[in-house]
Structure 1
């Protein structure tokens, strides 16, 4: 597949421009809408990052969150172990 998204299914750490850190599984990237979707997302709040509006971490796990690309300050891959099998027969996996 030539349009496969690299790191799809990998654990991602993302920091928003509001200095809030999120961790989740890379679910999709939409280049047309400039969005990144993470599944099984946890918010770690602002932690020790300087901000005028500190945010506490949350215990709940969000099914998925779609982030606007322009509001992402930092994004990196934490774990490249993909959660989905590499089988060309699979059309879609709901995480």
Structure 2
């Protein structure tokens, strides 16, 4: 987790301008390209919000989705980042990955 971006690793809720809701883990915010990247993303569709193109929810979990910042209507924090396997809050750690199922 980056000290400069404390929400990296947090569960984020995002509503697009098309009124579809997504939830996933915030991976990065690219200020140069104005994008937001979520990993482990689930699409909940339009959930009855009034739209010209209603979208049903999807059962799939997407590895990642890159969202165009200008097409994001709302973004909110669902859960703060979780501590991963007891790693300390250490500014020397830029990024890490753990393997599920490995002890």
TM-score, scaled to structure 1: 0.88
Task: Find 2:93's aligned residue among 85, 90, 94.
Answer: 90
- Cross-structure match for 1:67: 67
Gaps (5+ residues) in structure 2? 99-103
CA gap of 1:29–1:83, structure 2 versus 1, over 3 A, is: farther
Gaps (5+ residues) in structure 1? none
TM-score, scaled to structure 2: 0.82
Distance 2:51 2:31 in 1: 29
Q: Is the 8 A contact 1:12 1:25 kept in 2?
A: yes
1:19-30 to structure 2, matched below 5 A, reads: 19-30=19-30
- Structure with higher Rg: it is 2
How large is the Cα RMSD of the aligned pairs? 2.1
Distance 1:43 1:83 in 2: 25
Q: Which runs of 4+ in 1 moved over 4 A?
A: none
Q: Is the 8 A contact 1:9 1:26 kept in 2?
A: yes
Q: How many residues align?
A: 95
- Cross-structure match for 2:101: none
Query: What displacement does 1:83 show?
Result: 4.7
